[in-house]
Amino acid sequence: MKSPRLTILNFHKTFPDNDTCLRFLLSARFPRPKCKTCGGTKFYKHPTRACFTCAKGCTHLWPKEGTIFGHSSTDLVKWFFAIFLMSQSRNGVAAKELERALGVTYKCAFRIGHQVRKLMKDNAFALFGEIEADETAVGGKRKGKRGRGAEGKTIVFGQLQRKGMMNAAIVENVKAATLIPHMQDNIAKGSKLMTDELKSYKKIARLLEMEHDTVVHGAKQYAKENGTHTNTIEGFWSQLKRSLDGTHHIISPKMLHAYVSEFQWRYNNRQSMTHLFELLLSRVSSRQGLGA
Ligand SMILES: [Zn+2]
């Protein structure tokens, strides 16, 4: 059965206030709460603090502790709403937008955005079959030639299995030696690699003994009749860049990796937006959310 579309209205019905969010967090983190002192299993919400107290009053359970909400004095329901908004957006949510939607300061909105982004990280996926690999330069216009890449550009390298998952990572340069570790760990033997004419890929394909075909972008060749092209991953790059320009405007190279993971995560979970919100909530109390 198709799950119902998540609307803002549904969200507010499910999570109307801080207590509901805290109870949700309690059951996610302590499915069978038990008092360490008396062994009791009955806990009551503390009237003023963000914790639950054993019926005999001996111990407290703090559901927020250790999570991305841990040291925040911002209402939990605002955090949940930020997670909802960020899970339902195709282009990401700017700090400015969060500031307005949550009614918090810009500084607070910025911090919340980055904390939620921490939940959007995946390990690299194993890829198999038709793989497009490509790299792109993001950002720039920094003065001088310091830092990595030409004129302050940051290089993002990606590998994408057609109709499957993709991995993206920030790399120092596009030398074969730099890219090989990303590819040999993630691309299964027997896959076919498709790239543009960059020499590194030829070298990598030879070293990893992979079937390899190229399109020569320099000669305005974008697709071959045999199906070789890199248009899928280039579509991902343009989506990423559009979102970075249109939503976030300025991104420091230091922060870029978080946005790249976010967009990789969006792409890899592109089938279900409803699922995304639940997935993020479940991660609050998983290893990722607890920073383990
Ligand atoms: Zn007790």
Domain assignments of the chain as residue spans, ordered by start: 8-120+272-284, 130-251
The residue-averaged pLDDT of 219-245 equals 89
**Whole-prediction pTM:** 0.84
Which residues keep their CB under 5 angstroms from ion ligand 1? 35, 37-38, 40, 54, 56, 58
One-letter amino acid of 181: P
Mean pLDDT computed over 24-49: 94
Mention every residue, 6+ apart, whose C-beta is less than 8 A from residue 18: 50, 75, 76, 77
Q: What is the mean pLDDT of residues 205-219?
A: 91
Distance 286 CA to ligand 1 centre (A): 26
pLDDT score, position 121: 87
Cα of 34 from ligand 1 centre, angstroms? 8
Cα–ligand 1 centroid distance for 105 (angstroms):
39
Output the CA 285–ligand 1 centroid distance in Å: 24
Q: What is the pLDDT of residues 137-181, one digit of tens each?
A: 987 665 444 433 456 788 999 999 999 999 999 999 999 999 999
- The alpha carbon of 255 and the centre of ligand 1 are apart by a number of angstroms equal to 44
Q: Per-residue pLDDT for 230 more than 80?
A: yes
Instruction: State the CB neighbour count (10 A cutoff) for residue 2.
Output: 6
The angle formed by the CA atoms of residues 95, 90 and 265, to the nearest 5 degrees, is 90
Distance 164 CA to ligand 1 centre (A): 50
In the numeric block, which tokens belong to residue 248? 């976030």
| CATH superfamily of the 130-251 domain | Ribonuclease H-like superfamily/Ribonuclease H (3.30.420.10)
| Chain segment 92-148, per-residue pLDDT in tens | 899 999 999 999 999 999 999 999 999 998 888 999 999 999 999 987 665 444 433
Dist. CA 54 → ligand 1 center (Å): 5
Q: State percent of the chain over pLDDT 90.
A: 68
If you average pLDDT over residues 38-52, what whole number do you get? 95
What is the distance in A from the centroid of ligand 1 to the CA of 58?
4
Q: What is the mean pLDDT of the chain?
A: 89
Whether 291 has a pLDDT exceeding 60, the answer reads: no
Which ranges constitute the DSSP H helices of 15-158?
18-29, 76-88, 95-102, 106-117
